Amino acid sequence: MFEKDFPILKRRINGRRLVYLDNASTTQKPRAVIEAISDFYQNHNANIHRGIHTLSQEATQMYEGARDKVKKFINAKHRGEIIFTSGATEAINLVAWTWGHENIHRGDEILLTEMEHHSNLVPWQILAKKKGARLKFIPIDQTGRLDLKFFSQLLTPKTKLLSLTHVSNVLGTINPVEKMIRVAHKKGALVLIDGAQAGGHIPIDVQKLGADFYVLSGHKMYGPTGVGVLYGRKEILENMPPYQSGGHMIKSVDWQNSTWNGLPWKFEAGTAAIAEVIGLGAAVDSLNSYGIERIWNTEYRISEYALRKLCKIPGIEIYAPRIGKDRIGVISFNVKGVPPHDLASILDGQGIAIRTGHHCAMPLHQRLEVESSARVSLAIYNTKVDIDVLIKGIEHAQSIFGI
């Protein structure tokens, strides 16, 4: 019933109805988001925070209005805690290059997990190398969940930061971050949560979680590409040095010195992605109108159906928790005898879009002892019929490969 909101779902691919199951890469955009961007450029385009003229004021109001929407969406305490970035990747890099550079020293430890996306691994590798700090990893168990008995062991007085994903982009596992944050805080570590796969799929309440930093990707939650969010607790952000510098992030500048603007603008140098931020605001409106609990339940129901059907395919190996409510509609798998890349190619011939490869999680694939995998990931517009088409497609690929 949500399909009508998404114009692209009318597309035909290779003569077939598009069955889009690559939502963990990026979701499709509802009409409201597309129209918000087009409305901004057609009726309100101007730079923000600078002009006295009407358009500039309208643009500023729309841009800052989006900040209020995001603040409410993740239940932040202050609007200054919401910083717009180019994406989740930039949000993590911002923390690494500012807070990290000031607070991580030789011998310190940064605790990550085995299920991190490269974007929550590589920035910490660079920082650790530069500072002589050490990265440690909470392992995963056989069911695709974090093995928490190692957590308290790995968390030491040297741990300055715990940085982990809310939801795995490969396994679909929802991590018990609220509990983990409490434990980490007791040991004096700060916690960053990578919410790129959580945003738009499960409810997020940063105050309830107690997260110090929380990052979101706009385009993975029905918004445009090129925009993401860094949430940070006010006390921490206030003490952090700026990230990029230039226009808009300053209060005053003379030839030798500058003083910084207040939050959140201290971290938003240069002209922002104004239209994209406004588009993200529209995406949040759409999410609110669907209802995040309803989205969560709908996707869960379809993913249960998908798991049930996929399990029956002979020779399939699934890398995801199969039971329990602590997972979302992300299912990675391999079909014996059909390399994932070929599978995706054959499915594309039938209008079905899935992702294959290592999904930007090469170490996790080494841990799973597979080269690559195929991944099906759901969004609000997917139906049981989509899953039926997928299953038929996989069977067709098996028949091509003589299985």
Partner 1 sequence: MHKASLEYNELVLDHYRNPRNFGTIERPTHIGSELNPLCGDEITVYFKVRGSKIENFKYEARGCALSVAAASILSERIMNYELGIREVQKITKADIEKMLGIKVGKAREGCLTLSLNTIKKTI
Distance of closest approach, residue 372 Cβ to partner 1, in angstroms: 4
CA distance 207 to 77: 7
Return residues touching partner 1 (CB under 8 A). 14, 339-342, 345-346, 348-350, 356-358, 365, 371-372, 396-397, 400-402
Amino acid at 384: K
Q: Annotate 151-197 with DSSP letters as a single string.
A: HHHH--TTEEEEEEESB-TTT-BBP-HHHHHHHHHHTT-EEEEE-TT
Residue 38 to residues 5, 57, 224, Cα–Cα distance (Å): 16, 18, 12
| Nearest one of 61, 65, 34 to 49, comparing CA atoms | 61
Q: Which residues pair with 333 in a beta bridge?
A: 318, 374
- The dihedrals phi and psi of 2, each to the nearest 5 degrees, come to -95, -10
Distance of closest approach, residue 176 Cβ to partner 1, in angstroms: 31
Amino acid at 109: E
Q: Which is nearer to partner 1, 141 or 317 (CB)?
A: 317
Pairing between β-strand 82-85 and β-strand 228-232 as defined by DSSP bridges: antiparallel
Distance of closest approach, residue 323 Cβ to partner 1, in angstroms: 29
- Judge whether 360 counts as a catalytic residue: yes
Q: Which is nearer to partner 1, 9 or 362 (CB)?
A: 362
* Annotated catalytic residue, options 316, 360, 391, 403: 360
Q: Which is nearer to partner 1, 21 or 184 (CB)?
A: 21
Give the side-chain half-sphere CA count within 13 A for 70. Answer: 32
Distance of closest approach, residue 165 Cβ to partner 1, in angstroms: 21
Distance of closest approach, residue 371 Cβ to partner 1, in angstroms: 4
Q: Which is nearer to partner 1, 241 or 337 (CB)?
A: 337
Q: Which is nearer to partner 1, 168 or 356 (CB)?
A: 356
Residue positions annotated with a catalytic role: 360
